Amino acid sequence: MNKSMIVIVVSVVATVLMLLLLGSIQGNKADQAMINVVPNIKKLEPRSAEWGKYYPRQYDSYIATKESDKIDDVLKKDPNLVVLWAGYAFSKDYNAPRGHFYMLEDNINTLRTADPVDDKTGPMPTACWTCKSPDVPRLMAEKGELEFFTGKWSRLGAEIVNPVGCADCHDNETMRLSVKRDFLARALDAEGSAPFAKATHQDMRTLVCAQCHVEYYFKKTDWQDADGKDQTAMVVTLPWNNGLSVEAIEQYYDERKFSDWTHQLSKAPMLKAQHPGYETFKTGMHGQNNLGCADCHMPYVREGGVKYSDHKIGSPLDNIRNTCLNCHGESEEEFKQIVKRKLERKDELAFAATDAIAKAHFEAAKAWELGASEDEMTPALMDIRHAQWRWDFAVASHGGFFHAPEETLRILATAIDKGYAARLKLRDILAKYGAPGFEGPAFSNKAEAQELIGLQMDKLVDEKITFLNTLRKEWIQKASHSGKDIYDPKTEVKTFKTSYNAEK
């Protein structure tokens, strides 16, 4: 046998063996593809139950957010807030958030969204739906983002019928986490330090939450619709161009002379913080250590022989064993005490801030009444604006006291500082106009405070109930008979719970 023959034989044997191995690898790859196969769910399917058919554990735990059903009336806890928000709908009704299951229900029931009678009335823009439902990305995809952000809140009542759910965070083709609201990506890119395109899976475990748990405002945007008609959209925009800190965002709003409303008493150009959860979390110890929201709010849990991410999003304190104790060594009781103390510290400073700011609003109103000029008042009003913005930024995300205790207390300290700076300036003005010892009226509860700023609560509640019994019912009728397969009766909330209902 010559050399060529040897080469041929060895080659054939080697080729056959390698081809067999290649076949085996392809087989394993096919297995992997099979494991990763995703059920056939419609793109942006808004009904979570449709996803739940294939992911029953995740769906059941999501539905269990129902258990978080207590109405926690924040205005009742600190009536100063009624004064702080005089002239703004938050003074009527403001509760701490309940479980995700109730998002839509609470948005519809709150007195803030008031009592529209058709698709063109009511005080709120469509933007108020933005974070409430997977029907929002569906509509944005169907009609375009600007079209979605145009018109009144009531215009979309029959279209937005599912509480925030699967389609808000998951891609139907891969099940991977995906951000469905482009304003988040735009804001991350504008801020620049962590562009959206570079987000890892671990980043996404926070960013899907940051679609909503962030500070934003409604930016007036002119556009032309398909018929060439001029339209104005109120586009949810995250004010992150200068950075994520309270000062950077304050500067952003100041540069644009933006204000959410003019205060009813002080006439200050006010800002309302939304819920800057992401911004504060990033400054805290857990955020700094690259934890994601899902690490504590959606722990990996075991059910029989299967592990999955718990979709019952709520306080990690309800499940310390599977959250805190994954990394920490203290006992459950110790954890509860540590967090309780953090909350008390925040509450103490937050109350000091709202007390000072509420007094400043009354003092400013008195100064105007006595004839103070705009030039005299402006510096004090800017202090009020900044004080209230900072207090609101520190508390509005609800979890800030835990996510970033140092930052939260620091911001509250600056809020108190600015609040008293305003009061000092107002003291001078009041002294000049002959009221040196002026003190604002006293009030001891929510109802008194609301009366003081002239809110006719009974009327507001009656109008709301009328809306709920008429237009709201029509929306559900329309949605269930639209032929569009968007309404899921399982999402209906059976027990009517609101702050005003409980009082009545």
Partner 1 sequence: MKNSNVMTYVATACAVVVVVVFVTLVYESRALSYLSSDPKVCITCHTMNTHYATWQHSSHREQASCVDCHLPRDSFVKKMLAKSRDGYNHSVAMTFGTYGKNLRVTANAAARIQNNCISCHAEAVSQMHENSELYVKFDDKVSMGRRCWDCHRMVPHGRTKSLLSTPDNLGVKER
Residues 381-400 contacting partner 1, CB under 8 A: none
Q: How many residues does the chain have?
A: 504
Residues in a beta bridge with 93 = none
Q: Which stretch binds partner 1 (CB under 8 A): 113-121, 261-269, 304-312, 337-345?
A: 304-312
Question: Could you say whether residue 37 binds partner 1 (CB under 8 A)?
Answer: no
- 154-186 burial: b if 16+ Cβ within 10 Å, else e: bbbbbbbbbbbbbbbbbbbeebebbbbbebbbe
Q: Which residue in the set 53, 70, 220, 307 belongs to the binding site for partner 1 (CB under 8 A)?
A: 307
Member of 40, 193, 289, 469 binding partner 1 (CB under 8 A):
289
**Binding string, residues 168-207; x marks residues near partner 1 by CB under 8 A:** ------xxxx----------------------xx------
285 contacts partner 1 (rule: CB under 8 A): no
Q: Judged by CB under 8 A, does residue 15 bind partner 1?
A: yes
179 three-class SS: coil
Q: How many CB atoms lie within 10 A of CB 493?
A: 17
CB of 85 to partner 1, least distance (A): 40
Among 228, 229, 305, 375, binds partner 1 (CB under 8 A): 305
What's the min distance (Å) between Cβ of 205 and partner 1?
9
Binding mask 50-89 for partner 1 (x = CB under 8 A): -----x-xx-------------------------------
Written as six digits, the tokens of 383 are 């202090």
**How many Å apart are CA 366 and CA 426, to the nearest integer?**
9
Burial 88-125 (b: 16+ CB within 10 A, else e): bbbbbbbbeebbbbbbbbbbbbbbbbbbbeebeebebb
The CA-CA-CA angle for residues 11, 13, 14, to 5°, reads 65
- Measured from the CB of residue 35, what is the shortest distance to partner 1 in angstroms? 5
Six token digits for residue 399: 């979890």
Nearest distance from C-beta of residue 125 to partner 1, angstroms: 34
| Rounded least distance, CB 173 to partner 1, Å | 11
Contact 322, 315 (CB under 8 A): no
By CB under 8 A, name the one of 5, 197, 226, 442 that touches partner 1. 5
Query: Smallest distance from the beta carbon of 327 to partner 1, in angstroms?
Result: 4
Nearer to partner 1, 128 or 208 (CB): 208
Distance CA 167, CA 179 (A): 10
**Please, is 451 exposed, middle or buried when counting C-beta atoms within 10 Å of its C-beta (0-12, 13-18, 19+)?**
middle
Nearer to partner 1, 42 or 307 (CB): 307
Q: Which lies closer to partner 1 via its Cβ, residue 170 or residue 385?
A: 170
Q: Write 487-490 long-range contacts (CB < 8 A, 24+).
A: 487/47, 487/161, 487/162, 488/47, 488/48, 488/49, 488/50, 488/161, 488/162, 490/49
Near partner 1 by CB under 8 A: residue from 11, 262, 373, 378 = 11
Give the span between the Cα atoms of 273 and 267, in whole angstroms. 18
Stretch that binds partner 1, among 185-193, 215-223, 283-291, 453-461 (CB under 8 A): 283-291
Task: Based on the shown chain and the rule CB under 8 A, indicate whether residue 25 belongs to the binding site for partner 1.
Answer: yes
State the number of CA atoms in the 13 A half-sphere of 379 facing the CB. 11
Terminal-residue alpha carbon distance, the chain: 104
What is the rounded distance in angstroms from the CA atom of residue 45 to the CA atom of residue 51?
8
Among 36, 193, 444, 469, binds partner 1 (CB under 8 A): 36
Site for partner 1 in 313-372 (CB under 8 A): 326-327
Cβ closer to partner 1: 33 or 442? 33
Shortest Å distance, C-beta 209 to partner 1: 15
Does the footprint of partner 1 cover residue 290 (CB under 8 A)? yes
* CA dist., res. 132 & res. 98, Å (int): 12
Given candidates 60, 69, 189, 300, which one binds partner 1 under the rule CB under 8 A? 300
Token pair 């009545």 is at which residue?
A: 504
Mark the segment that binds partner 1 (CB under 8 A) among 74-82, 160-168, 288-296, 434-442: 288-296
Q: Which is closer to partner 1, CB of 24 or CB of 331?
A: 24
Residues in contact with partner 1 by CB under 8 A are 2-5, 7-8, 11-12, 14-15, 18-19, 21-22, 24-26, 28, 31-32, 35-36, 55, 57-58, 174-177, 200-201, 289-291, 295, 299-300, 302, 305-309, 326-327
